[in-house]
């Protein structure tokens, strides 16, 4: 099998390319100069926005490759055309939860036998460190580990990209649940607000993905996304907003007990979200372990000028 050299342009297939992160990964791969393929699934039907998005990728130079998770041979044919496969399948309970579907992709990659690297859908908390997670949110990590185990059992070269909260869901809303925009008057602070959390703009996550996919330094490794200026406490994030607006928000400090008090009364998707927030903001699961320079994306790729949260929040002012 020919090795892909770092810096060499490679052929990459993005699965889930019309999703929130997937579309950004497609754009980043194109910008990086990689020959970019996007899986076009017949299940897209008459979803006009997704069809138009796929066509916009085609205009930019991407190749559309037909394939369906209900047709194994179509997946085998699709992955045979590329060197690297990146999955951006959704894994959150309040949207489509498709993590287990990747097992079919693993089988196709295994049969094709020619893929030099697979990046499964990870990008958030490291599932290998979340064995203690609360149900039903624990399902996400269990399924991601099932996919990892299948990848490694099949001997497929891989990279796992993990470690940060997407700014669209955790930054712009100052980490408030049920909204994606900043509160105007008052804000809930989790615990004492001093647990360190990591935030990343999804465009930057996509750029790191495009850099990582053919880098020999990241082969069969977990790469953590920890932009130094975006390692912030909840209070520090709120204070950035207050400085930008010149207004001080009324703060309610929510204890762990109160945060989880009525979790069983919530719908499943809400329960999962509460559990994830608890692990991030009360336990500090993103920052309770050290990471070496050779495992951290912003150190590996200093040329990526990542967006700091003070820059990110300006659009909301």
Residues annotated as catalytic are 144
Residue positions counted in the chain: 317
Distance CA 71, CA 277 (A): 37
29: closest CA among 13, 49, 18?
13
Burial of 211 (0-12, 13-18, 19+ CB in 10 A): buried
DSSP symbols for the chain: -PPPPTTS--EEEEETTTSTTHHHHHHHHHHTT-EEEEEE-GGGTT-HHHHHHHHHHHHTTPEEEE-BTTBHHHHHHHHTT-SEEEE---B-TTS-B-GGGHHHHHHHHHHH---SEEE-S--SS-GGG-TTPPTTTHHHHHHHHHHHHHHHHTT--BEEEE--EEHHHHTTTTT-TT-SS--SSEEEEETTS-SEEEEE-HHHHHHHHHHHTT-GGGTTEEEE---GGGEEEHHHHHHHHHHHHT-PPEEEEEPHHHHHTTGGGS-HHHHHHHHHHHHHHTS-TTTSS---GGGBHHHH-TTS-PPPHHHHHGGG-
**Phi, psi of 85, rounded to the nearest 5 degrees:** -120, 130
Radius of gyration from C-alpha coordinates of the chain: 20
């Amino acid at each position: 099998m020919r090795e892909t050299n770092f810096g060499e342009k490679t052929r990459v297939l993005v699965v889930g390319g019309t999703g929130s992160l997937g579309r950004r990964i497609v754009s980043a791969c194109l910008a990086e100069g990689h020959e970019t393929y996007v899986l076009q699934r017949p299940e897209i039907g008459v979803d006009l926005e997704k069809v138009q998005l796929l066509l916009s990728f085609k205009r930019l130079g991407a190749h559309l490759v037909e394939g369906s998770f209900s047709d194994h041979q179509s997946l085998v044919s699709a992955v045979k055309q590329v060197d690297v496969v990146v999955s951006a399948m959704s894994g959150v309970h309040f949207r489509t939860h498709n993590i287990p579907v990747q097992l079919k992709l693993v089988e196709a990659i295994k049969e094709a036998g020619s893929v030099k690297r697979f990046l499964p859908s990870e990008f958030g908390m490291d599932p290998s460190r979340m064995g203690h997670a609360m149900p039903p949110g624990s399902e996400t990590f269990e399924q991601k580990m099932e996919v990892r185990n299948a990848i490694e059992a099949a001997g497929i070269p891989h990279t796992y990209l993990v470690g940060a909260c997407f700014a669209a869901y955790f930054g712009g809303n100052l980490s408030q649940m049920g909204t994606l925009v900043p509160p105007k008057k008052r804000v809930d602070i989790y615990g004492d607000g001093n647990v360190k959390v990591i935030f990343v703009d999804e465009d930057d996550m996509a750029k790191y993905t495009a850099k990582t996919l053919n880098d020999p330094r990241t082969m069969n490794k977990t790469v953590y996304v920890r932009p130094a200026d975006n390692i912030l406490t909840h209070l520090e994030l709120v204070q950035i907003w207050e400085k930008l607006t010149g207004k001080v928000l009324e703060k309610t400090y929510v204890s762990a007990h109160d945060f989880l008090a009525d979790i069983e009364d919530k719908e499943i998707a809400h329960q999962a979200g509460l559990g994830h927030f608890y692990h991030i903001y009360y336990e500090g699961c993103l920052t309770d372990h050290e990471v070496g320079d050779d495992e951290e994306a912003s150190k590996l790729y200093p040329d990526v000028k990542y967006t700091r949260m003070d820059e990110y929040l300006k659009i909301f002012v």
